[in-house]
Chain A
Amino acid sequence: MAKKERVLVLGNQACVEGAIYAGMRFYAGYPITPSTEVAEGCARELPKIGGRFIQMEDEIGSIAAVIGASVAGLKSMTATSGPGYSLMVENIGYAYMTETPCVIVNVQRGGPSTGLPTKVSQSDTMQAQWGPHGDYTAITVAPSTILETVTETIRAFNLAERFRTPVTVLLDEVMGHSRQIISLPEPGEIEIFNRVKPTVSPEEYLPFEITENYVTPMPAYGEGYRYVITGLTHDQKGFTTNKPEEIAPKLHKLRHKIIDYKDEITKLRAEMMDDAEIAFISYGSVSRAALQATDIARKVGVKVGCLQLQTIWPFPDKEIAEICGGCRKVIVGELNMGQIVNYVRSALPGDIEVVPLQRYDGEILTPMQLIEKLEEVL
């Protein structure tokens, strides 16, 4: 086998590569630092493969166009940062309700409000789950390297198509703007999932059917299945409903189609966890520092491990409890004032001490800071 070509790739460009690999053929977005290179990459690359790029008038319109393109049959994506994500939450909620697959990339910067456009943060972690109002269960993935940005973006599309739901890819300014030399996956190397199409006749088709495994086939507009897509609570035919016996099953589906299949969604990377007494738990760019800190501490004999959450939502509580079951303490490193630390706390038994390590001044957590915290709690 020929040796793979090695290329220097920017994080945001890696996201574009992953999306196109996954079959993304429609991008709508609005410029915002530090995500703009995703839009620029799509504007450049999509015409080459017959795809479509559009710069919309704002982020609300961007996610609306993405959803429109998805129901028309194209895999679609948008990318933004916190202020833009805040504008998008209205229609991300619509995508949850209408079970429309799409991918939203959030290259996080500091907040609240316009905050720190050029500085790193992970303070939109909660927003990725709880952005829109109402009850639903979100899927959020978070890569920590440039190669993972490719593969996790592919995974985000696969999950969106498999579960008919919007999926958020959480990057951050450091992830989006760092470069690494990587080998891109070859065609066929990573499996691509495409949405299930109906096999029944249009007369028999129920667009929001609650099936046993919650998989509801989805036709594209123009394929002969004419139905209503509405953000109002609807029955299995798609018609709006006020009936309690139809409302509860719909909401039940939005939750259980995700949490009942958490095993398919959850992905973690555990390094040196087998005999670890102390674990770093982190995600995104912090995981790179945590891995380096783990390496350094191991060299001097400290039994420390590193657990990276590649899936943040639904929260992998069961897996964290399994992997960290033998630890005395865990250090949860985040670039925010503590968004997952309480989830970790409730996932673990009370005798495992959960130590927060937070930074929210626009700078990264360095390996040395993680080691200092480790020394503190040893």
Chain B
Amino acid sequence: MATAVKEKQKSNVVLDYLRPGKAMPTVWCAGCGHGIVMNGIIRAIDKTGLSKDEIVMASGIGCSSRMPIYLDFNALHTTHGRSLAFATGVKFARPELKVMVVTGDGDALAIGGNHFIHACRRNIDITCILLNNYIYGMTGGQGSPTTPSQAFSTTTPYDNAEKHFEPTKLAIAAGASYVARTTVYHAPQMEKLILNGLLHRGFSLIEVISNCHTYFGRLNRQGDAVKMINDFKERSVPIARAKSMSAEELEGKIVTGLLHKKETTEFCDVYQSVVDRVQKGM
């Protein structure tokens, strides 16, 4: 597997990775942050120098999960919440493949919560990109596990009585060895974090805060795509600065950057060493 990072990149490189025969534009609403993430994912993958055949992109159900259909990789569009379990099977069966998962906040953290924490725990070499837009978009704006307390959705029409998950904290606690967060405003940073996640051997989670102005923005009076994206910029705090800020100061902020990195053994590697040992009769 190539690890050389390509420095120079053409502006139109994104077009080289679109699936032949799949009509554009995408299914997403005008201004949907998910397209910005797709844009960044392509640029990051291109920089790895990996061939398209080496890449498997799995997803579940939801707006974000439509992404693999547009991209010219081995695409596994699975059932709701299960993409990490499918991806675990692919990666474990053929560790030489680079396996990515594109998932959303509902997909990964509600219905897929169990698979999410166990993929983190195993530290299996999967790059998981979690597009967090705080809401269920495809079904029309219902509350998700990341919908903030007191935010509105079609299923929290008066108030959200629940508390929300912070997926990065969950991932770190569960054992993921590379955990980062960014927003669609920070597209160059997003690309870098995804690239480094792809180069990292182990489970990497890159949470990208994305805008669903169609539902979350409208229901919570956060304005259109541009307004939401600019709001991400205003609310973001780089991890280096966040470290010297108090909990009160960080209230409502989005801490961005590489939050956690740990060098530790990877599941498939360890299993292979077990196989080698057993086969030698040890």
Q: What string of 1s and 0s marks CB contacts (under 8 Å) between A44-57 and chain B?
A: 00011010101011
Q: Which residues from chain B contact A227 at a C-beta distance below 8 Å?
A: 74-75
Pick from B69, B93, B96, B271: contact of A76, CB below 8 A: B93
Q: What string of 1s and 0s marks CB contacts (under 8 Å) between B84-95 and chain A?
A: 011111111110
A65 to chain B, nearest CB (A): 3
Q: Using a CB-CB cutoff of 8 Å, which residues 171-223 of chain A contact chain B?
A: 220-223
Interface size class of B (residues with CB under 8 A): 35 or more
| Contact between chains at B79 and A239 (CB < 8 Å) | no
| Contact between chains at A222 and B85 (CB < 8 Å) | no
B20 to chain A, nearest CB (A): 8
Pick from A47, A71, A226: contact of B73, CB below 8 A: A226
| Contact between chains at B93 and A61 (CB < 8 Å) | no
Q: Using a CB-CB cutoff of 8 Å, which residues 145-202 of chain B contact chain A?
A: none
Q: Which residues from chain B contact A240 at a C-beta distance below 8 Å?
A: 69
Q: Which residues from chain A contact B279 at a C-beta distance below 8 Å?
A: 47-48, 50
Q: Taking A52-B271, A67-B89, A231-B79 as contacts, is the C-beta distance between A239 and B54 under 8 angstroms?
A: no
A239 to B27, CA, bound (A): 13
B56 to chain A, nearest CB (A): 5
B93 to chain A, nearest CB (A): 4
Q: Which residues from chain B contact A62 at a C-beta distance below 8 Å?
A: 85
B18 to chain A, nearest CB (A): 12
State the majority secondary structure of interface residues on B: helix
| Contact between chains at B76 and A229 (CB < 8 Å) | yes
| Contact between chains at B75 and A226 (CB < 8 Å) | yes
Q: Which residues from chain A contact B93 at a C-beta distance below 8 Å?
A: 26, 52, 68-69, 72-74, 76
| Contact between chains at A239 and B85 (CB < 8 Å) | no
Q: Which residues from chain B contact A71 at a C-beta distance below 8 Å?
A: 76, 90
Q: Answer whether residue A58 sits at the interface, using C-beta atoms and an 8 A cutoff.
A: yes
Q: Taking A91-B79, A91-B82 as contacts, is the C-beta distance between A61 and B114 under 8 angstroms?
A: yes
Q: What string of 1s and 0s marks CB contacts (under 8 Å) between B64-80 and chain A?
A: 00001100111111110
Pick from A72, A90, A231, A237: contact of B89, CB below 8 A: A72
User: What are 5 sample pairs from A and B whose C-beta atoms fall under 8 A apart?
Assistant: A64-B82, A68-B87, A91-B82, A222-B53, A231-B79
| Residue positions of B touching A, CB distance < 8 A | 19, 21-22, 52-54, 56, 58, 68-69, 72-79, 82, 85-94, 96-97, 114-115, 117-118, 271, 274-275, 278-279
